[in-house]
A and B are shown apart, each in its own frame.
Chain A
């Protein structure tokens, strides 16, 4: 055993050193440099762990061999994790990563508690690993990385990072929601038989599932609060609504599921949009989803996982979570989109402008986007924006109307 552990730890130390060399040699954009440094630090930590294991082995104490074995396994697992997943942005990065990197950099820079974490993105389905001890990493599909329309989806993923940063408070709020749901689901009278035991197990499954659902609904709310109309459009079009599972899932598929039924997520977002004053926008999106839903003729049945009486506690919980996380809210100006002056404005306005332009005339959108992706990533050139000049080349751009709604304090 001792010889095996010595050999394995020497290999781990060598591989960690090799990884440091690869990371240092990679050509990367400036925005990725802090992330590279984190990875180098972690690689060095793995090397130090292997060196410490070799030191332990030199003591000749058999009582600690099981611990050194555990340490060796941990070092190897961490090295594989870095090599398989975390180093991709540095060792396999492409220029098209820069759009997402710009968005993520802006997100982190505008939230003090997240500022210490460097931006990083890798190809994949929309996701984030909010690894606050290691380093967070976002995932975004390769095609959508290169355009502006779906960038607002990163606001949802950022919500997971915010949750992680405020985890104890967030978990407490979700726990209160789970208790409320449990009480709502409890029958008025309870039997003491096999049926009652099965029902109790079913209720437990529903309550457990809501831990993840609450976080996803919170992240949707973060997305809308930060992006306004562009987030609603991005989510609505990206998640699709083109399959019946977007409207209905059988009960076994709901238990332990990672996300609520898509139609429910959209319904909750539309409610948020309306309460924020975007009645016309919400109506348009709702009409689209109703049209799609009607084509599948699926019942609106969540098998007890969501009933109308859950809405009250859920809404209160989400508002409390938003208060705790305090994401940067989309302003009225940003929601109007219309134009953006690089260096003086936020990506939110640009993303709203992108959706307005796209929905106005998709045939003209690609050319428009090509120019503004470049300016977005560049960040230093000033848009020669007159508003009228840009609009003259396009059909009427419909700017979402919004009625200012007083927010409850």
Chain B
């Protein structure tokens, strides 16, 4: 059984982020449908705080990668580094279609709370989910039980 501290902390981080993504995605979709969200305002704010906290750590690494082309990312664990590379790749795909703006747009959207453009929030959350929700065959690698 894999007892790797890095796999365990990566699992914990992805769990927090995915939880926040789901809460906020549901909130925005229900808002667009004019349906009352059963989640409390505290739960929604907590999800925003979680995601903003993650982006506070994540965004400088994205900047580092874009500023120091060809240089390895430093000061970040391998899992977070993988997320950064995957983010850049997916962002380029979706930004070219115009559905999302520059990388710093999501932080601004989250900070504006319920005044945000819900369609844009949903598009960004779908991207973040695609980044952090690894494919099924890889997910066992991040379960502390390891691959079986």
Q: Chain A: residues with CB nearer than 8 A to chain B?
A: 52, 55-56, 59, 61, 63-64, 67-68, 70-71, 74, 77-78, 80-81, 84-85, 124-125, 127-134, 139, 160, 164, 168, 171-172, 174-176, 178-179, 182, 200, 203-204, 207-208, 211-212, 256, 258
A182 & B74 in contact (Cβ 8 Å cutoff): yes
A61 & B129 in contact (Cβ 8 Å cutoff): no
Compute how far the CA of A59 lies from the CA of B15 in the bound complex, rounded to whole angstroms: 25
Give residues 21-46 of B contacting A (CB, 8 Å): 21-22, 25-26, 29-30, 32-33, 35, 38-39
Give residues 5-19 of B contacting A (CB, 8 Å): 5-6, 8-9, 11-12, 15-16, 18-19
A301–chain B nearest beta-carbon distance, Å: 23
Q: Which 4 A-B residue pairings sit nearest by Cβ, starting from the closest?
A: A175-B75, A127-B3, A129-B8, A178-B74
Give the interface size bracket for B toward A. 35 or more
Sample (7) of A-B pairs whose CB atoms are under 8 Å apart: A59-B30, A59-B38, A77-B139, A80-B143, A127-B4, A132-B12, A171-B77
By a CB distance below 8 angstroms, the chain B residues around A139 are 3
Report if B103 contacts A (CB, 8 A).
Answer: no
Given the known interface contacts A59-B38, A182-B74, A211-B76, the answer about A77 and B4 at a Cβ–Cβ threshold of 8 Å is no
By a CB distance below 8 angstroms, the chain B residues around A63 are 29, 32-33
B39 & A178 in contact (Cβ 8 Å cutoff): no
By a CB distance below 8 angstroms, the chain B residues around A56 are 26, 38
Report if B98 contacts A (CB, 8 A).
Answer: no
Compute how far the CA of A68 lies from the CA of B25 in the bound complex, rounded to whole angstroms: 10
B70 & A200 in contact (Cβ 8 Å cutoff): yes
Interchain CB contact (< 8 A) of A131 among B1, B12, B71: B12
Compute how far the CA of A132 lies from the CA of B25 in the bound complex, rounded to whole angstroms: 26
Nearest to A131 among chain B residues (CB) is B12
A208 & B30 in contact (Cβ 8 Å cutoff): no
A172 & B8 in contact (Cβ 8 Å cutoff): no
Compute how far the CA of A224 lies from the CA of B118 in the bound complex, rounded to whole angstroms: 53
The main secondary structure of chain A at its interface with chain B is helix
Report if B72 contacts A (CB, 8 A).
Answer: yes
Q: A70-B129, A182-B71, A212-B78 are in contact. List 9 more A-B contacts (CB 8 A).
A: A61-B29, A64-B29, A67-B26, A71-B19, A127-B5, A128-B5, A129-B8, A175-B76, A207-B72
By a CB distance below 8 angstroms, the chain A residues around B22 are 67-68, 70-71, 74
Nearest to A133 among chain B residues (CB) is B12
B78 & A211 in contact (Cβ 8 Å cutoff): yes
Report if B86 contacts A (CB, 8 A).
Answer: no
Interchain CB contact (< 8 A) of B5 among A61, A64, A80, A160: A160
Interchain CB contact (< 8 A) of A171 among B19, B75, B143: B75
B33 & A125 in contact (Cβ 8 Å cutoff): no
Interchain CB contact (< 8 A) of B144 among A70, A85, A207, A258: A85
By a CB distance below 8 angstroms, the chain A residues around B38 are 52, 55-56, 59
B133–chain A nearest beta-carbon distance, Å: 7
Compute how far the CA of A131 lies from the CA of B143 in the bound complex, rounded to whole angstroms: 13
Given the known interface contacts A52-B39, A74-B19, A182-B72, the answer about A64 and B26 at a Cβ–Cβ threshold of 8 Å is yes
A224–chain B nearest beta-carbon distance, Å: 19
B133 & A70 in contact (Cβ 8 Å cutoff): yes
Given the known interface contacts A55-B38, A70-B18, the answer about A207 and B5 at a Cβ–Cβ threshold of 8 Å is no
Compute how far the CA of A68 lies from the CA of B27 in the bound complex, rounded to whole angstroms: 12
Nearest to A211 among chain B residues (CB) is B77
B133 & A59 in contact (Cβ 8 Å cutoff): no
Compute how far the CA of A60 lies from the CA of B12 in the bound complex, rounded to whole angstroms: 31
